[in-house]
Copies of this chain bind each other. A is one copy, B any other.
Amino acid sequence: MLNISGGKRGRITIHEVAAAAAVSISTASKALNDTGRMGSETRERVKRIAAAIGYRPNALARGLLSKRSFTIGLLTNDTYGRFTLPVMAGISDALVDHGVSVFLCAIEDDPALAQIHVDAMLDKQVDGIIATGKRLDRRLPVDLSNLHVPVVYAFTEGTQNSVTFRSDDEQGARLAVEWLVKIGRRRIAHITGPEDFFSVRERAGAYHEVAGHREPVLYGVWSESWGHEAVDQLWRRPGEKPDALFCGNDQIARGAVDALRERGVKVPQDVSVIGFDNWEIVAAQTRPPLTTVDMELKELGRQAGLTVLALAEGRPVEPGVRKLPCRLIVRQSCGGEAPQG
């Protein structure tokens, strides 16, 4: 049988450090935290001894006093992890240097479960909460508006007077369509997701502006099969076919590429296809690999992390919605110049 031998009894406290250095506890504490007044040789000796015996301060005791737990909570309803994982990586990346750890709480659009997780986080005195979702125009199924800890929203709808991070879908769509125009495409169709998504409408708006309305927008669902079917619809129609497809996400783009290949249409020679999301697993494995728009989710997470940290430390932060610019990832599904980077 396996048993955790010794338990936590062996943990070294500041008492041991003080005893080993033959100083008082307060002196030891001040030496280690570079506070207070004392001789530099004393300070160094305490530090040296603490390091030698492997002392690490107990974050619970420290947090109890300082009201900072160096812990934040990440709430998400994105079970798939399509958005959460990059955002999480960015948050973690930004906060690990500050000694902050992240509780990940996956709530499956279940208000009761969400409340349990929020309560647990508050009990554990999190310094703040980041709420993330998978679409900009939906709220998480739990009210975070009067929490006495700071809350930052990322990729989900925030409350009045909160700070919310999102990608700039309009700019991203513009980037995509301008690229298609730049490489000489003129009959650009837009195959995208459900029209009730805010980001779908925003991207469609940008598409109309840049492309000049030559083709209608095909709204559907976020799946490969919709991309496939949309191409069938377009190519069954009489008249000139599009020479480029701007797709609402990489899955749709992939379905479209497959459908074009089955029809004998060459990508990118005959038709350029551009995706959205830069979901590597889809975009890079498509043949040819997809040129697409990256929403810089990791950077978004990083900024959200730094913001919640700022709020937790009492630094003032301007409320409002922050739109982060997207970035064009050039691969081979559009033709044009060679991939950069």
Chain A residues packing against B (C-beta within 8 Å): 1-4, 6-8, 10-11, 56-61, 63-64, 67, 69-71, 73-74, 79-81, 84-85, 88-89, 92, 96, 99, 101-106, 113, 116-117, 119-125, 148-150, 161-163, 223-225, 228, 251, 258, 261-262, 281-282, 285, 287, 311-312, 314, 316-319
- Copies of the polypeptide in the assembly: 2
Known interface pairs A1-B317, A89-B106, A103-B101. Does A58 touch B285 (Cβ–Cβ under 8 Å)? no
Measured between beta carbons, the chain B residues less than 8 angstroms from A69 are 60, 124
Assess the B105–A117 pair: CB atoms within 8 A: no
Q: Which residue of B lies closest to A82 (CB)?
A: B281
Assess the B124–A59 pair: CB atoms within 8 A: yes
Please, how many angstroms separate the alpha-carbon atoms of A84 and B94 in the complex?
21
Assess the A314–B3 pair: CB atoms within 8 A: yes
Please, how many angstroms separate the alpha-carbon atoms of A121 and B251 in the complex?
38
Q: Which residue of B lies closest to A285 (CB)?
A: B224
Given contact pairs A80-B281, A101-B121, a sample of 14 additional A-B residue pairs in the complex whose CB atoms are under 8 Å apart: A1-B317, A1-B318, A2-B162, A2-B311, A4-B314, A6-B148, A7-B148, A58-B64, A60-B125, A73-B101, A92-B104, A103-B104, A224-B285, A225-B285
Measured between beta carbons, the chain B residues less than 8 angstroms from A103 are 71, 101-104
Q: Which residue of B lies closest to A63 (CB)?
A: B60
Assess the B59–A125 pair: CB atoms within 8 A: yes
Please, how many angstroms separate the alpha-carbon atoms of A295 and B74 in the complex?
27
Assess the A96–B122 pair: CB atoms within 8 A: no
Please, how many angstroms separate the alpha-carbon atoms of A148 and B8 in the complex?
6
Assess the B58–A316 pair: CB atoms within 8 A: no
Known interface pairs A4-B314, A61-B64. Does A96 touch B116 (Cβ–Cβ under 8 Å)? yes
Assess the B120–A163 pair: CB atoms within 8 A: no
Measured between beta carbons, the chain B residues less than 8 angstroms from A282 are 281
Known interface pairs A61-B64, A113-B96, A314-B4. Does A11 touch B120 (Cβ–Cβ under 8 Å)? no
Measured between beta carbons, the chain B residues less than 8 angstroms from A149 are 4, 8
Assess the A163–B125 pair: CB atoms within 8 A: no
Measured between beta carbons, the chain B residues less than 8 angstroms from A96 are 113, 116-117, 120
Assess the B120–A99 pair: CB atoms within 8 A: yes
Measured between beta carbons, the chain B residues less than 8 angstroms from A150 are 4
Please, how many angstroms separate the alpha-carbon atoms of A8 and B58 in the complex?
21
Please, how many angstroms separate the alpha-carbon atoms of A225 and B284 in the complex?
10
Measured between beta carbons, the chain B residues less than 8 angstroms from A122 are 56
Please, how many angstroms separate the alpha-carbon atoms of A123 and B117 in the complex?
22
23 residue pairs of the A-B complex, CB under 8 angstroms, read A1-B318, A2-B161, A2-B316, A2-B317, A3-B311, A4-B314, A7-B314, A58-B125, A59-B124, A59-B125, A60-B63, A61-B64, A64-B64, A73-B101, A80-B85, A85-B85, A88-B104, A89-B106, A92-B106, A99-B120, A101-B117, A101-B121, A261-B262
Measured between beta carbons, the chain B residues less than 8 angstroms from A251 are 285
Measured between beta carbons, the chain B residues less than 8 angstroms from A123 are 56-59
Q: Which of A58, A85, A319 has the most CB of B within 10 A?
A: A85
Measured between beta carbons, the chain B residues less than 8 angstroms from A223 are 285
Assess the A71–B106 pair: CB atoms within 8 A: no
